[in-house]
Amino acid sequence: MTKLTAQCLLLAFVLLASCKKSNNSSKTSTGGTLTATVDGTPMTFNNILVVKDTAYLGAYLLTFAGTSSLSSSSAPELALTVDGTSPITTGTYSIGPAGMTTNLPAMSFTQGTSLIYESDATGTYSSSIVITTLTKTNVQGTFTGTLTLITGSGAATKTITDGKFDVNF
3-class SS string, 81-125? EEEECCCCCCEEEEECCCCCCCCEEEEEEEECCCEEEEECCCCCC
Q: Is the pLDDT of residue 78 over 90?
A: yes
Structure confidence at residue 156 (pLDDT): 94
Please name the residues in contact with 39: beta carbons below 8 A apart, sequence gap of 6 or more. Answer: 155, 158, 159
pLDDT in the model for residue 98: 55
- Kindly report the pTM of this predicted structure: 0.78
Q: What mean pLDDT comes out for the span 141-164? A: 95
Nearest-angstrom CA–CA distance, 51 and 66: 9
* pLDDT of res. 102: 63
The chain-wide mean pLDDT, for the chain, equals 78
Residue 146 has pLDDT above 60, yes or no: yes
